[in-house]
Chain A
Amino acid sequence: MATAPATIPIYPAEKAGHSGFEYFSTRKDELVGWARKFSLFPYPFVTACCAMEFMAVSASPYDTDRFGAALPRFSPRQADLLMVVGTVTHKQAPVLLKVYEQMCEPKWVMAFGVCATSGGFYQNYAALPGIDRVIPVDVYIPGCPPRPEMVIDGIMQLQEKIARASHPILTRTF
């Protein structure tokens, strides 16, 4: 399953006189993954200077809209991609956890920049050494700040991950 390309085979009708698209067959996970990977609704949890880079990558020269990840939702309840952009302190960690818990399944987390990834050079009493101490992270983007190309690469890796993942209709909790 991991090596299968996430494409949707379309079989045209064999009989003459019938138009195409009479039926197509695919696997449920591939179809749902294909749909979900192009409809990422990011929630920017922006705390520090990486915000400038987030604005740059969102704006037209780099244009994350190409990946379906353009429309930031300012309520975590409407988002499925949590982008943690910048340093998170111990004092902010409960807020980050609450935002994450408010998001509906399915949800993914991106650690944007080295501070969100590991704390960066803030190894002290104040800074959280990586947001993965508090919430699970799907994609890490290093750099201080990361270049827009790295962010786009991170989004594409996340899309690949979503496309290959299993998408259960019913989960253990629901």
Chain B
Amino acid sequence: MAATDLDMLRERIVPAAGPATVSHGMLAFQLAPAELVPTVRRLRDEFAFDIFLDVTAVDWPADALRFEVVHHFYSTRHRARVRLKTRVAESDAVVGSLVGLYGSAAFMERECHDMYGIGFRGNFDLRPILLYEGFVGHPLRKDYPKRREQPLVPYRN
């Protein structure tokens, strides 16, 4: 994406938290949870971000808004990436699902739900995908004990 296109995208999409910053040549937006799905729809329809790369989260245990849900998108037309960061509190760790916009979101949101316990409103199939049924807790949260094991088969010794 040419520098002018980046500037145009930055001017047209301005979330409430302020305009995007540039990180490693990639635009990074700070969003409120309610802004996420409308912003993604605009990115897809107006700016040709046609590939949903991944959704993950960052755990900041000391912060009031503990989780930062991070989405990445890629545009094959502009050859550019954007990053969306959405802060949510632990008590209401839910963001909107992108299943209606990108079919590939279904599996990636399941993984994020496995690892961090983030809920995705509108994704109705959040069964474990990498973990197994009966696993208690979310292993990539900072407060998950490092050595805690949840074996499926009883140990011999």
Contact = CB atoms under 8 A, between A and B. Distances in A.
Interface of A: 90-91, 93-94, 97, 123-126, 128-129, 132-136
Contacts of B132: 90-91
A91 B131 contact: yes
B152 A94 contact: yes
Nearest to B146: A124
B16 interface: no
B139 A90 contact: no
Given A91-B132, A132-B156, A133-B157, A124 B139 contact: yes
A133 B156 contact: yes
Given A91-B132, A123-B147, A134 B139 contact: no
Contacts of B139: 124-126
Interface of B: 131-132, 139, 144, 146-153, 155-157
Contacts of A132: 156-157
Nearest to B132: A91
Contacts of B155: 133-134
11 contacts: A90-B149, A91-B152, A123-B147, A124-B139, A124-B146, A125-B149, A126-B139, A128-B151, A132-B157, A133-B156, A135-B156
